Amino acid sequence: MKNLSRNESRVLRLLVENSRLSISEIAKKLDISRNTVSCILKRLNDDYIERYTVDLKNNGDLYYIVKTDSIDNIDPGDIVEYYELMNGKYIVVLKNLTRINYESIDMAGARHRSGAITGISVYCDYCGSVITGESHTYEHKNRIYYFCCSTCKSQFLKERI
């Protein structure tokens, strides 16, 4: 970044580390007046800062649901599941919120799978029979394979993976 004064650069570095710092906290940390910090923040907001963000801690209790144009820049290990929408966008459920561009974001405190869905049959990806009861799954390259039993799953893995 060009044309930043020494103090502007110092304020910007503090904000990158913690965007929640108040003007008083910044002034105290840098040993400059609150008025000076206020003027610096006005210039930085006008010329350099696009937005303030929050990095969330994930203790395993949250899922992040984002609407995004692409899943290419998302670590596959962070994806719980995703849906490709008819308009070409994606709804993605994430375990960890990574720095991606998204159109919207929501957070969920729990993930539930309903057993009450009727009228939908799920077929084994190995033998083709209808899965009744609990299915066995295998995830590979962002695709989930479903099997009616552990035998079908192991045979599938031997032959194709």
Instruction: Tell me whether residue 104 is in a domain.
Output: yes
Backbone angles phi, psi at 64, to 5 degrees: -110, 125
Rounded to an integer, the average pLDDT of 65-83 is 86
Distances (CA, A) of 34 to 22, 41, 44, 51, 98: 10, 10, 15, 21, 34
Banded model confidence at residue 152, pLDDT cuts 50, 70, 90: very high
73 and 93 together in one domain: yes
Q: What angle do CA 63, 65, 71 make, to 5 degrees?
A: 115
Look at residue 56 in the predicted model and tell me its pLDDT: 62
Full-model pTM:
0.42
- Kindly state whether residues 123 and 161 are assigned to the same domain: yes
Q: Do 153 and 159 form a contact (C-beta atoms < 8 A)?
A: no
The pLDDT of 34-43, averaged and rounded, is: 93
Residue 1 counted as domain residue: no
Instruction: Give per-residue pLDDT as tens, 101-125.
Output: 777 777 777 776 665 555 667 888 8
Share of the chain above pLDDT 70, in %: 85
Which domain, by its residues, includes 19?
6-47
> Of 21-25, 27-31, 70-74, where does mean pLDDT reach its minimum?
70-74
